[in-house]
Structure 1
Amino acid sequence: MFEIRVICDLDDTERVVAALDHTFTTGTVTVYPTRDGKRSRFYVRADHTPTNDTGNAKTDWPTPEAAYANAPSANDEMAWLLGHPYGRRGREWWLRRAAVNDRMVLGMTPRYTSSEANALDLAHRLIEMDNASVTGDPRAYVRQQYARWANSH
């Protein structure tokens, strides 16, 4: 994962954001005007697009259905998350939050939704917390880690 900073003409902003999105797996793009107001300045977290190589390639990750087969309901998961105050949120809390958000984006949680950008940001947070090197889809890393965690409990 890495961060990209771009400064471009206002007219080019949408085209540059689309090109970044096409080239990389990106998170939330934060856009600001430059000091002179004539250009856009934006920041984005990104990762390389998935490859078909071995290792952390997208094809090596579990499917969402397999990863979340034994997951609690979204209601139960949200209650568990809300029951942990800010100072007591360790890896398990961040893993479960990333996983439930991933499930929401995938439409696996009736009545609950989330944005892809939020799910991707949470996946990056877990990757950073684990100090992991992930190539490809960061949300697939969440699925892999959740499946491992679920099978050990």
Structure 2
Amino acid sequence: MFEIRIICNPAEAPEITKALAETFTTGAVRQHPTRDGDRVRLYVNAEQQPSHWPTPETAYATAPSIISEIGWTARGARDCLNGIQVREFWLRKAALLDRIALTDDDPVSGDAATLAVEAARRLMEIDHAAGLGPNGYADGPYTPDHPDSIREPRGYVRQEYALWNRHH
């Protein structure tokens, strides 16, 4: 648990409080005026929200080997360039890069992790443009523009890969 302190204009306080509650598990917000009286200080106890994403072990339980997926991705790049299977290509590429990043010495901020996040964001752009959400192909709880998806793009990939894998 940690405490967040924010100094803002009084009119901004409700919007900031809402954003904090969407991002963290928060307690009651304590509000006090600043010394000059023009702004307010917000104090809130917060903690990270538990992840609701599938674990990598669950998402990739029946996935082909990494070597096999590298081959598929190399072959699939041609189809993707020609507008065929664009979503599947980016989904499988993002999942492949996520799996590679998980084996890296620095699975959160290393080079492989950076590439995994970039590929995940590309998938999210494709899904957002296609309007995928709870009533589209992606029947998971998180749409590509959900705050949790934006905060954890690799979690979004795991959700989508697990759903895709279940349907294929």
Within-5 A mapping of 1:1-153: 51-52=24-25, 59-84=51-76, 85=78, 86-87=81-82, 88-107=84-103, 115-131=112-128, 132-135=144-147, 136-153=151-168
Which structure 1 residue ranges, 5 or more long, are not aligned? 1-47
Structure 1 segments of 4+ aligned residues over 3 angstroms from their partners:
48-53
TM-score by length of 1: 0.57
Residue 138 of structure 2 corresponds to none
Percent identity, aligned pairs only?
A: 39
TM (norm. structure 2) is: 0.53
- Structure 2: gaps of 5 or more residues: 1-19, 27-48, 105-109, 129-143
Q: Kindly tell me: are residues 51 and 66 of structure 1, through their superposed partners in 2, closer, same or farther at Cα, counting changes over 3 Å?
A: farther
* Cα distance in 2, alignment partners of residues 147 and 71 from structure 1: 9
Answer with 1 or 2: which has the greater Rg. Answer: 2
Larger relative CO (CA 8 A, sep 6+): 1 or 2?
Answer: 1
- The match for 1:26 is none
Q: Report the CA distance between 1:60 and its aligned residue.
A: 1.2
Q: CA deviation at 1:51?
A: 3.6
Q: Is the 8 A contact 1:119 1:139 kept in 2?
A: yes
Q: Secondary structure at the match of 1:101?
A: helix
The CA RMSD measured in Å over matched residues stands at 2.6
